[in-house]
Amino acid sequence: MKNIFILFVVLSFVPLASCSKFLDQKAYGVLTEDDLTTVEQIENSVISAYAGIGNDEINRPLSLWGYGNVRADDAYKGGADENDNDLLHWLEICSPSVGNVGMWYNDVFWYRNYIVISRINSALRALDNVSEGQMPLKTTRIAEMRFLRGHIHFIQKIIFKHIPFITEDMSPDDISNESNVALSSDSVWLKIAEDFEFAYNNLPVVQPEIGRANKYAAAAYLAKTYLYKAYRQDDMHNVTSIDMGELQKVIDLADEVIASPYRLENDFAFNFLPGQYENGPEALFSVQYSMDDGTTYGRLNMGCALTTPTPGGDFNKPSQDLVNAFKTVGGLPDFDNYSTADLSETDKVDPRLFHTVAIPGKPYKYTDVNFEANQTRNHTMYGLYSSLKENVDPASPFYVKTGPWYANSKNWIVLRYADVLLMKAEALIETGRHNEALPLINQIRSRAQFSTQFIAFAAGNLAITTYQDGTNCNWTEDFARKALRWERRLEMAMEGCRFFDLVRWGIADQVMNMYYANEKDAHTYYRNAYFEKNKFEYCAIPVEQINWSKGLYKQNFGY
Amino acid sequence: MPVKKTDGDWSSVTPAMNDRDNPARILYANKDNPYTYWRLFGNAFIDVQPIKNLHIKSDFGLDYGNYYQRVLTHSYTGRLGVDQPVSSKMQQSHWTKWAWTNTATYNLSIKKNRMDFLVGMEMDKQLDVSFAAEKQTYDEEDPDYMFPSVGTGEAFATGSATGYTLLSFFGKINYVYDDRYLASVTFRRDGSSRFGKDNRYANFPAFSAGWRISHENFMDAVSDIVSDLKLRVAWGQTGNQEIDNLANRTILVSNYVGDAGAGVNTGTAYDIEGKDGGLLPSGYQLQQRANDDLKWETTTQTNVGLDFGFLNQSLYGTFEYYFKQTDDILIRPPYLGAIGEGGDQWVNGASMQNQGLELSLGYRGKTASGFSFDISGNISGYRNKITKLPESVISAYGGNGTTDIILGRAINTFYGYRADGLFRSQEEVDMYADQPGKSVGRIRYEDNGDGVINEDDRVWLGNPHPDFEFGLNINLEWYGFDLTIFFQGMYGNLVYNNTKATTDFWAVSESKMNHGTRLLDAFDPETNPTSDIPSISFTNENSEGRVSSYYIEPGSYMKLRMVQLGYSLPLSIIKKADIKKVRFYVSGQNLLTIKSKKFTGLDPENPNLSYPLSTSLTFGVNLSF
């Protein structure tokens, strides 16, 4: 008994002796930012920022089909009915309801963009901890990160106008005290331009890994930034002036891209096909998606998972107005009468129609299987067309079921060489050099003309020619502007940029109200739609964010 | 949607329907996914008494849980005939928790003084480990065959561990003098691994005192009437550490797999080489920021109570008042979106106070005829108020973050729009403030007078705390029969009845899904002009899902929780069989709910549950040998 007692007393003191360490519970399977010190780890932080731009979400994708196509005259929302993804419905018809509290769409989009920005800034902080000697690619990586930061802020800017610009030196407390109006709208453009400028000055012309941004991608995005910035807006979103110096920068930067190895694809279709076609000569910068990569479903383009013609999706449906816009007369757009009658079997059209829009009874996405009317969920509301560019052949291995949706692993092209040609053409026209814009636009039309190898079924309907001054048109500044804007619509249709083009040009209200008038008989949900100028050019700053900012954030004009 | 097609296959949605799977198929498929859960617990102790009345005790307790499941995903021809991958996932979790308590107690009695001393310490540690392995594609879709080893498709593995430790030192002295005066002092020092390094430990003192008045000599004269009377006061502090194990840490993880299943990708891997597949490089995701200052949430409570019994304890009860102050409430507040990933951080937030009164009263007795009864009831109420609100969490408890803050109000007070009935005529619509989406039959939201309905019109809408709660217990016995009846309820609380989104509107929740029958009584200017239910609308233009008083309803209820009737066979019969007791009983649970007429849901106690609390009837036999 006595021995047991001694043993017991000794045992009782063991815990007392080890107390000081007992509460040092380890955290299993986690790191801290301080752990990121090796070059490999810093490179991984950069990867995670790239992953951010590919981490798309079905309802509010960075491909901007909602904000860029549906809100414009290119697409109907689609889906089951108006109530399916309803904020997009209110945006589509410019309903005052978009400003109502409880509209979850904008708030989540806003937040998700800052998630990507925080990853980028986190990588920039990690890069700051290493010397050029330890990591020779340090400056290149910083430049890549600033490219991505410019990219996401750009998207945020064209949707919300007044946004906080977040940099790597800002602590969470600094960010909490940064208002969305701390910088003027133009100063935010300048900040975005600075990021792309840094990228442009420091990125190599070729990156060994194709997914990384390079100098030409930065030049193109910088050109795009100056193009948007050049159209000065007042606080009520009126375009008040156009800065010629900045348009000249657009021209100079575009020239650098034009002088690069990048070029137009031989066939328009190659831009919108998976696998071997990805990262082609026209793709200046793409989001790299993949499959069979050890993640649950593959790193797929979830941003387009709602736009497949399936029961879980069928959103982003090309509008009749867009389809009609492809009609040609004498090989040129039917500028004045395109919408007087809907496209018929006998109409002549621009070949790009069949690359952009799936039409019932015609082969779907270059396959021998026809797209069928019964793949549409609600044809009385949203018509029978479906969007092709972002989609793939459902029989191909790139088409993957993810829960109730289907997504694909095809890259999403952020910046296309054709876009750069059109940016330059636009800058030339607005600076009074419209004659120089003519060959650029014709270059795009010629390529379209020869993009027929996958659409043989439509051969009888195709008719497209280039503009020939004095022969089939009178290439004045006004005509050039009209031709450029039309060309942009056709070439970039359903690629998420139409609405922002209209706002940049200051004509969103005219175009949209005309569109509503044309469409409201066939699509009755447009009957009360009205684009209120000085309001609907931008989305409301999410009320939730104004709340969390403790009143620091200011609402956009008009809301 | 029919459950099955004519060919016997599960049916699935058509293009016009919502993107839901066949629920019967999901339930059926789940039958192959049973789990086992084993739990083992117990303790062992050594108690030695080196000298009289001194006990040194060491107690070791162990609690171990083990969970295993194999989850099979079957092929299924659904929309457009595309199958989902067949997979088998084996998963296992272990929970290990031990506590080692070492105490020394000493009792001392000197004349009328009695003292108990206790010192001790306790160590607690919990470690949870889980892992899973999944493989897709099987030659045969047979549960007996589908084990990951024989799968031929993609493989996934997960595994994680998390734990925490607690370390406490404590001492207690009880003192009783002549059973009349009672006092006790306690001191605890608790440490938790969940807090910042400098704030792991906190001290929690407490004391209490009691005076058994009924034992005083001067009460002898009334001892027939007053059988027990005790006054007690207590003051003490307690701590709360019920937060995530890693609450104070930075959480930066590699999230290779991501999660695209919910329609959103969150992963950290990227195909930077553009090779379209294969193993990818992967980075990190910040999920939480550290907070080295995170400390214990502390509640300081003061009680004054009176226990009483009259007429030889046949009338008995207690009366108690308490004042409770909770400081440094642990919270992970929502944060500004611009902070981005990893804005989450545990902090010590607001302080609140609760003041309450509790009264319980019982009456028991036995009549000459052998009928015995014990009837007791209790009633209690409290008032809650936020008393301190640091700037950093100012919008974390509701309100608009600037002019409307929770300070001075009860925690969880509802904040939103006040629904001011319906627009019943076009004239009313035209006359009213600028409310986006307004029209006849829609909800009118109260305006603050500026002529526009927007977020500035939100107000505090009501208190979710009850005015009082009550219970009533009735026990009756008569010869072999016994009857127990138990009522319970609360009064004066408001609840947010979110099910109204589906019972009262077509388009607030997802349309094309099942809705409640209240919709059938929706307002119509001609056929149903008096209804308060908004007219049926195909779209939700008026944004009627917003937080508003339309969803706030009285949550008062009284429930007959239980009635049990039993009969025990007389001893004279059963003792021959060497049985001590044979009792037959029938018992009913949740037999009756009385609720406010204004509550439109099923159960005010669980207002957002789509299923009512089930009523159950139990028949049974108790045997004691």
Which ipTM was obtained for this model? Answer: 0.94
Q: Which of B271, B336, B337 sits opposite A290 (nearest CB)?
A: B271
Average per-residue pLDDT in chain B? Answer: 92
pLDDT digits (tens, 9 = 90+) for B566-606: 999 888 888 777 888 899 999 999 999 999 999 999 899 99
Q: How many helices (H) and strands (E) does chain A have?
A: 18, 12
Q: Do A550 and B256 touch (CB under 8 A)?
A: no
Q: Do B258 and A295 touch (CB under 8 A)?
A: yes
pLDDT of residue B79: 54
Q: How far is CA B413 from the centre of its chain?
A: 18
Query: Global pTM?
Result: 0.92
**Chain A residues touching B458 at Cβ < 8 A:** 101
pLDDT of residue B487: 97
What are the φ and ψ backbone dihedral angles of A467, each rounded to 5 degrees?
Answer: -80, 130
A-B Cβ pairs (cutoff 8 Å, strict)? 364
Q: How far is A77 from chain B (nearest CA, A)?
A: 14
pLDDT of residue A102: 58
Q: Which of A25, A95, A377 sits opposite B16 (nearest CB)?
A: A377
Q: Do A550 and B395 touch (CB under 8 A)?
A: yes
pLDDT digits (tens, 9 = 90+) for A60-108: 889 999 999 999 999 999 998 888 888 899 999 998 888 765 556 789 9
Q: Do A305 and B263 touch (CB under 8 A)?
A: yes
pLDDT over 60 (residue A14): no
CATH of A34-307+411-520+531-548, one of 1.10.260.40, 1.20.1560.10, 3.60.90.10, 1.25.40.390: 1.25.40.390
* Short-list A186, A185, A200, A189, CA closest to A146: A200
The DSSP bridge partners found for residue A318 are A75
pLDDT over 90 (residue A218): yes
Centre a 10 Å sphere on the Cβ of residue A234 and count the other Cβ atoms it contains: 12
Q: How far is A335 from chain B (nearest CA, A)?
A: 35
Kindly identify which residue of chain B lies nearest to residue A274, measuring between CA atoms: B276
pLDDT of residue B80: 47
Q: Which of B56, B161, B268 sits opposite A28 (nearest CB)?
A: B161
pLDDT of residue B210: 97
pLDDT digits (tens, 9 = 90+) for B445-454: 999 999 999 8
Kindly identify which residue of chain A lies nearest to residue B437, measuring between CA atoms: A97
Least-confidence region, from A1-10, A175-184, A313-322, B188-197: A1-10
Farthest CA pair distance, chain A: 117
Q: Which of A23, A175, A302 sits opposite B165 (nearest CB)?
A: A23
pLDDT classification of A372: cutoffs 50, 70, 90: very high
Q: Which of B278, B339, B543 sits opposite A97 (nearest CB)?
A: B543
DSSP SS3 for B313: coil
pLDDT of residue B32: 87
**Chain B residues touching A32 at Cβ < 8 A:** 249-250, 252, 290
pLDDT classification of A405: cutoffs 50, 70, 90: confident
Q: Do B80 and A310 touch (CB under 8 A)?
A: yes
Q: Do B342 and A118 touch (CB under 8 A)?
A: yes
CA–CA separation, B190 and B301 (whole Å): 18
Task: Give the list of residues 6+ apart from residue A544 with CB closer than 8 angstroms, or none.
Answer: A107, B337
Task: Give the list of residues 6+ apart from residue B123 with CB closer than 8 angstroms, or none.
Answer: A15, A22, B99, B100, B165, B166, B167
Query: Nearest-5° angle of CA A190, CA A194, CA A200?
Result: 135
Q: Which of B84, B395, B512 sits opposite A548 (nearest CB)?
A: B395
Q: How far is B38 from chain A (nearest CA, A)?
A: 25
Kindly identify which residue of chain A lies nearest to residue B250, measuring between CA atoms: A32
Average pLDDT (A376-404) is: 92
**Chain B residues touching A29 at Cβ < 8 A:** 160-161, 253
pLDDT digits (tens, 9 = 90+) for B404-448: 999 999 999 999 999 999 999 999 999 999 998 899 999 999 999
Q: Which of A22, A89, A312 sits opposite B19 (nearest CB)?
A: A312
Q: How far is A176 from chain B (nearest CA, A)?
A: 6
Least-confidence region, from A440-454, B246-260, B288-302: B246-260
Q: Do B539 and A55 touch (CB under 8 A)?
A: no
Q: How far is A337 from chain B (nearest CA, A)?
A: 34
Q: Which of B100, B261, B275 sits opposite A403 (nearest CB)?
A: B261
Task: Tell me whether B80 touches chain A (CB under 8 Å).
Answer: yes
pLDDT over 90 (residue B259): no
CA–CA separation, A11 and A6 (whole Å): 9
DSSP single-letter state for residue A69: I
CA atoms within 13 A on the CB side of B585: 20
Q: Where are the domains of chain A?
A: 34-307+411-520+531-548
Q: Do A114 and B280 touch (CB under 8 A)?
A: no
Task: Tell me whether B433 touches chain A (CB under 8 Å).
Answer: no
pLDDT of residue B18: 75
Least-confidence region, from A124-128, A186-190, B115-119, B139-143: B139-143
Kindly identify which residue of chain B lies nearest to residue A311, measuring between CA atoms: B15
Angle (deg, nearest 10), helices A498-505 and A215-230 = 40
Q: Do A310 and B15 touch (CB under 8 A)?
A: yes
**Chain A residues touching B443 at Cβ < 8 A:** none
**Chain B residues touching A409 at Cβ < 8 A:** 276-277
Q: Which of A8, A23, A212 sits opposite B48 (nearest CB)?
A: A8
CA–CA separation, B600 and B500 (whole Å): 8
Task: Give the list of residues 6+ apart from residue B51 with CB closer than 8 angstroms, or none.
Answer: none
pLDDT over 50 (residue B491): yes
Contact in structure between B471 and B378 (CB atoms under 8 Å) = yes
Interface test with B, best of A10, A18, A48, A206 (most B CBs within 10 A): A48
Q: How far is A540 from chain B (nearest CA, A)?
A: 12
DSSP SS3 for A339: coil
Most confident of A8-22, A87-101, B244-258: B244-258
pLDDT classification of A331: cutoffs 50, 70, 90: very high
pLDDT of residue B402: 84
pLDDT of residue B316: 96
Query: Which residue is it, tokens 């029938």?
Result: B586
**Chain B residues touching A297 at Cβ < 8 A:** 260-261
CA–CA separation, A486 and A327 (whole Å): 11
Q: Which of A29, A101, A375 sits opposite B546 (nearest CB)?
A: A101
pLDDT digits (tens, 9 = 90+) for B162-206: 999 999 999 999 999 999 999 999 999 999 999 988 899 999 999
CA–CA separation, A434 and A153 (whole Å): 31
Q: Which of A114, A122, A378 sits opposite B16 (nearest CB)?
A: A378
Query: Which residue is it, tokens 């736009």?
Result: A307
Interface test with B, best of A8, A23, A552 (most B CBs within 10 A): A23
pLDDT of residue A172: 93
Task: Tell me whether B81 touches chain A (CB under 8 Å).
Answer: no
What are the φ and ψ backbone dihedral angles of A420, each rounded to 5 degrees?
Answer: -65, -40
**Chain A residues touching B510 at Cβ < 8 A:** 83-84
CA–CA separation, A3 and A6 (whole Å): 5
Kindly identify which residue of chain A lies nearest to residue B337, measuring between CA atoms: A111
Q: Do A82 and B163 touch (CB under 8 A)?
A: no
pLDDT over 50 (residue B33): yes
Least-confidence region, from A421-430, A525-534, B179-188, B534-543: B534-543
Q: How far is A149 from chain B (nearest CA, A)?
A: 13
The DSSP bridge partners found for residue B42 are B62
Contact in structure between A273 and A409 (CB atoms under 8 Å) = no
Kindly identify which residue of chain A lies nearest to residue B120, measuring between CA atoms: A12
Task: Tell me whether B463 touches chain A (CB under 8 Å).
Answer: no
Average pLDDT (B36-47) is: 96
